[in-house]
Structure formats: structure tokens, C-alpha cells
């Protein structure tokens, strides 16, 4: 009998030891991470209440996950925005302060990012669609497909899902990170591609977004095709999610959906107004997200990387200014959240060079223009038909003959900005009325200026120093002929001077 008891004890002790040593092998793998990115669109989706959007798949994703009502990018142009969410850093922190096609780049190839960090956790990584951040080899994806921007839509929307299916097969039993970057709704706004969308909208069906301030038949045609692009995007998202389901991965996948910045209409893309910086953000994570929840806290695309790293069981590097979104994925109260959202632009290339910063809290928005009274060529690209890069979705001279006095005043302010702009977004969400010189808002303005300066100091923003700012603008103006694009060895001087300045001790300006 005693021998039997000893045998049983030995057996169970052995089982416990085996479990302890093998348990990590049987532990559930960390979640897959699917990052879906659309081009040049703000929250003009059905789930955000847009009356013209035909987006049932994205609407359903919002129903199964969490929709962020107040989500923002730090920079409303493609390359800087993408560098921000891939590295989790502000543009002045990572160096990508302009378009990759104009030779702007990260300060350092070794900058940690979504790909390099998740690969440390044995994630299989993939990108379908363009990257548009320099240098490309800073992002060593295991899988690449449709490397071009595909703005002409020669690659059909179905191709993105087909390549995703191949990626899922290659990932096998590894956890994976896949970014799928759709070309819609970037210019040109193409009405239909391969019969999609089936029921295309026309000018009679829509009106421009309220923040545009222009409503003509010509512009309505652009707006209608913008919504047709969004409908085609939505089809692509639906096809992609079907492939995810076929692969049996839906229940173990954290899905982010974002637009890379706002739409390319006046006071949208390229600006620091709400039309440029505010984007859709939907997060779906089965078993974690509370279906149909809407959060109104200020969220940033900088928050994607910290959230993904936490999901993967990794520590968030102290160098990342973003926040882990997981506490906001249920309706549990969150008291310690950010107070401010930061925005920035350099114009993104020499012919549009103009420096602006913005900072908003839950109600007020400050815009800082450190070179007041000078022409803003970003505005010119939408309002001046003689601008070498005037966009078809801008406001022509004929369009501008129809605008209200309020819009005319806003366009004039955008074209030659004052030192500061201040908007009450609760009362004036489209930013028509500048309160910066109103004595009743002097304390609010002063508080936001201090907060902006503190953020710049904390994140080591080289543009805080006037010498750096003027040197950058001077070099941009000297290269407006854009001959540098054909020079293989061309390198912007800020890549060294700003990087060196950031290594030094920042002294708060007096």
C-alpha cells in the first residue's frame, strides 16, 4: 500500500514537472495584427454618420469593434503620416518630415518600428501596397506585394485580398503582422473600376463636406467620385476580411483600420485643420473589444504601435509618445488619458513649404504659424490655379466667386496665416472663426501655447529653434526647381543637422 502511494505521488509530481516545462509550448500564440490603411480620407464613412457613404463592411467592422470618434494623425500627408504610425514617433522625432518621393527620410535606418519590433517576437510580417517611407530597407517585411502606389487602379481591388490569402498560407503557425494599404480614396477620384462600385454616385447625389466651404457643380462631381472611391475601398476591405475568415484567423486577430490623413479638398490634406488631421480609427479584437462601442477620447495613430506591442506581450519602449489603446476597448472608465493632440506640417516638399504646428484638447484648437504674414503655398495648391501643383479637387477662381464671406475670410487666413489661430471646436467644428485675438479667450490661448511649447521641448522638436526653422525653409526654397529628384546622392541637410540638434540638451526659449 505504501509503495502504491509513493508511486502515485511520483507519477503526479512527474506530470507537474512535465507541464511546467512544456506549458509554454502549448500556450496560445499571441494575436495576429492586421493593419488596414486607406488613402486620403477622413471619417466620411457610414459608421461616422456620413449621409453619402456606402461603406457596409467598415460599418460592420465598427459594429464588432470600437470606433474612435476623435482620432488624429500627426501630419496630414502620406509619407510622414505612415512613418508616424509605423515607428510610433512624431515626424520631428523620426525624421520623415516630407514626402519620400522628394527624398525626405528617417534620420536613422535603425529606427525601431512595427516590423523590426514584432519580428523580435517571431512575427511573420507582410505589406500589401505601397510603403512610401525612406529608407525602405528600414522595414524588412518577410512578404511584399503590389509595391506601387497603384493610383491608376490597374491592380484591381480584388488583388489585395488575393495576396492576403497567399500571405496567410505562408505565415503557417507563426503569429503575423500584415499591413494592407489600399489606393482609394487618393486622387484621381475614379468613378468606377471594373464595375466597382456597382451603384456609382453622381454630382446630384452629394454635397461637399461642411469644412470645405465651397459647393459648386464642378466640385460636387469630385466629391461624388471621392465617395465612389470610398465605396470601392469598402469592397476591398470586405474581400480582405473574408480571406481572413477563410484562413480561420478572425478570432485571433487584432484589426486596426485607419485613413492615413484627411481628404484632398480645400483645408484638408496637407493642412493642420481638422479636415486634414482627423481620421477614422476602428479597432476590432474578438474577446477584447466591446462590440459597437464608441470612444470620444483623443486618439492618435501613434497609439497603434504601443497597442500592438502590448498585445504581442512586449514592453512599450519609453521613446514612444503614444498610448496603449487597450483600456479604451471596453466601456470601463479611464481617468488617466491624454489631454492634447499634436499636429504638424512642413508642406511636405519644396514648392509647398510652410511650417505650422497645432495642438487641440477636447474643445479648443491652437494653430501656431511661426512665419506669420508669409504666403502659404499649401493653400495655393488648392486655391490658385497658377500653382504648379494645383489639384483638381481644389477651388477654382470660378468656384470661389460662389463662396460666402465666412469662407472667403477663412481662405484668406489660410493663404496668409497670422501668428496664432484659435478655434472653439465645440461651437465651431469647421474652424471658421479665429478667436486668437479675442480677449475673452486670452487665457485659453496662453494655456495652449504653453502646452505646445512643453510638448515640443519634451519631444525635442528642432523647429522650436528659430535658426533650425529658417535654415530648413531656406534650403527648401533654394530647391524649388526640384532638380534634386534626379540626383542619386542628394541628401537634405536637416537629416544630419536636426539629428545632431536633437542629441543636445534643449533649452526652453525665454
pLDDT band at residue 504 using 50, 70 and 90 as cut-offs: confident
**Rounded distance, CA 225 to CA 273, Å?**
23
Provide the β-strand partners of residue 190.
Answer: none
**Rounded distance, CA 54 to CA 58, Å?**
9
**Rounded distance, CA 119 to CA 141, Å?**
9
Q: Where are the domains of the chain?
A: 30-333, 342-501
**Rounded distance, CA 113 to CA 421, Å?**
34
SS3 324: coil
Residues 341 and 363 sit within 8 Å (Cβ to Cβ): no
User: In 251-376, which ranges are continuous DSSP H helix?
Assistant: 274-277, 304-311
Grid coordinates given for 289: 473589444
Alpha carbon 453 to its chain centroid, in Å, reads 23
* pLDDT, mean of residues 152-158: 97
Alpha carbon 110 to its chain centroid, in Å, reads 21
Judge whether residue 510 has pLDDT over 70.
Answer: no
Which pLDDT tens digit goes with each residue over 7-40?
Answer: 554 444 544 444 444 434 444 789 999 999 999 9
**Rounded distance, CA 495 to CA 457, Å?**
19
- Find cell 521641448 and name the residue: 457
Q: 30-333 in CATH: which number? A: 3.40.720.10
Which pLDDT tens digit goes with each residue over 236-294?
Answer: 999 999 999 999 999 999 999 999 999 999 999 999 999 999 999 999 999 999 999 99
Judge whether residue 368 has pLDDT over 80.
Answer: yes
- Tell the burial category of 496 from Cβ atoms under 10 Å away from its Cβ (0-12, 13-18, 19+): exposed
The pTM is what? 0.93
Q: By mean pLDDT, which of 18-27, 236-245, 305-314, 346-355 is the weakest?
A: 18-27
Residues 434 and 423 sit within 8 Å (Cβ to Cβ): yes
DSSP 233-248: HHHHHHHHHHHHHHTT
CA atoms within 13 A on the CB side of 467: 4
pLDDT of residue 26: 40
Which pLDDT tens digit goes with each residue over 426-442?
Answer: 999 999 999 999 999 99
Supply the DSSP symbol for 196: B
Q: Write down the mean pLDDT value for the chain.
A: 94
pLDDT of residue 18: 45
Amino acid at each position: 500500500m505504501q509503495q502504491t502511494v509513493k508511486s502515485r505521488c511520483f507519477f503526479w509530481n512527474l506530470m507537474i514537472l512535465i507541464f511546467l516545462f512544456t506549458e509554454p509550448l502549448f500556450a496560445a500564440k499571441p494575436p495576429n495584427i492586421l493593419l488596414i490603411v486607406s488613402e486620403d480620407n477622413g471619417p466620411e464613412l457610414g459608421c461616422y454618420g456620413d449621409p453619402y457613404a456606402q461603406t457596409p463592411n467598415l460599418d460592420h467592422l465598427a459594429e464588432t469593434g470600437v470606433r474612435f470618434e476623435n482620432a488624429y494623425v500627426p501630419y496630414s500627408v502620406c509619407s510622414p503620416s505612415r512613418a508616424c504610425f509605423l515607428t510610433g514617433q512624431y515626424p520631428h522625432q523620426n525624421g520623415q518630415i516630407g514626402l519620400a518621393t522628394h527624398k525626405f527620410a528617417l534620420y536613422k535606418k535603425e529606427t525601431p518600428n512595427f516590423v523590426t519590433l514584432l519580428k523580435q517576437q517571431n512575427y511573420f510580417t507582410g505589406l500589401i501596397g505601397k510603403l512610401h517611407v525612406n529608407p525602405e530597407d528600414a522595414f524588412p517585411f518577410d512578404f511584399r506585394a503590389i509595391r506601387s502606389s497603384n493610383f491608376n487602379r490597374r491592380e484591381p481591388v480584388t488583388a489585395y485580398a488575393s495576396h492576403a490569402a497567399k500571405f496567410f498560407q505562408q505565415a503557417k503557425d507563426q503569429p503575423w503582422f500584415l499591413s494592407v494599404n489600399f489606393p482609394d480614396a487618393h486622387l484621381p477620384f475614379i468613378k468606377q473600376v471594373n464595375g466597382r462600385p456597382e451603384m456609382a454616385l453622381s454630382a446630384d447625389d452629394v454635397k461637399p463636406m461642411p469644412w470645405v466651404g465651397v459647393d459648386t457643380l464642378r466640385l460636387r462631381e469630385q466629391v461624388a467620385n471621392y465617395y465612389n472611391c470610398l465605396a470601392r475601398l469598402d469592397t476591398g476591405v470586405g474581400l480582405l476580411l473574408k480571406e481572413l475568415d477563410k484562413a480561420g484567423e478572425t478570432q485571433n486577430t487584432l484589426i486596426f483600420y485607419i485613413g492615413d490623413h484627411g481628404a484632398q479638398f480645400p483645408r484638408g490634406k496637407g493642412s493642420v485643420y481638422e479636415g486634414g488631421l482627423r481620421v477614422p480609427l476602428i479597432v476590432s479584437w474578438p474577446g477584447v473589444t466591446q462590440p459597437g462601442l464608441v470612444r470620444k477620447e483623443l486618439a492618435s495613430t501613434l497609439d497603434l504601435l504601443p497597442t500592438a506591442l502590448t498585445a504581442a506581450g512586449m514592453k512599450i519602449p519609453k521613446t514612444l509618445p503614444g498610448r496603449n489603446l487597450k483600456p479604451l476597448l471596453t466601456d470601463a472608465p479611464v481617468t488617466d488619458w491624454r489631454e492634447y493632440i499634436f499636429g504638424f506640417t512642413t508642406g511636405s516638399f519644396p514648392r509647398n513649404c510652410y511650417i505650422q504646428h497645432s495642438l487641440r484638447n477636447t474643445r479648443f484648437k491652437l494653430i501656431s504659424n511661426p512665419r506669420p504674414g508669409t504666403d502659404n503655398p499649401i493653400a495655393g495648391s488648392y486655391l490658385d490655379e497658377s500653382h504648379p501643383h494645383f489639384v483638381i479637387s481644389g477651388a477654382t477662381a470660378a468656384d470661389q466667386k460662389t463662396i460666402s464671406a465666412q469662407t472667403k475670410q477663412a481662405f484668406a487666413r489660410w493663404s496668409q496665416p497670422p501668428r496664432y489661430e484659435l478655434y472653439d471646436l465645440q461651437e465651431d467644428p469647421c474652424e471658421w472663426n479665429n478667436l486668437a485675438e479675442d480677449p475673452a479667450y486670452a487665457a485659453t490661448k496662453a494655456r495652449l501655447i504653453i502646452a505646445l511649447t512643453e510638448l515640443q521641448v519634451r519631444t525635442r522638436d528642432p523647429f522650436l529653434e528659430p535658426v533650425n526653422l529658417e535654415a530648413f525653409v531656406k534650403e527648401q526654397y533654394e530647391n524649388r526647381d526640384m532638380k534634386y529628384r534626379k540626383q542619386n546622392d542628394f541628401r537634405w541637410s536637416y537629416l544630419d543637422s536636426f539629428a545632431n540638434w536633437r542629441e543636445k540638451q534643449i533649452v526652453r526659449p525665454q
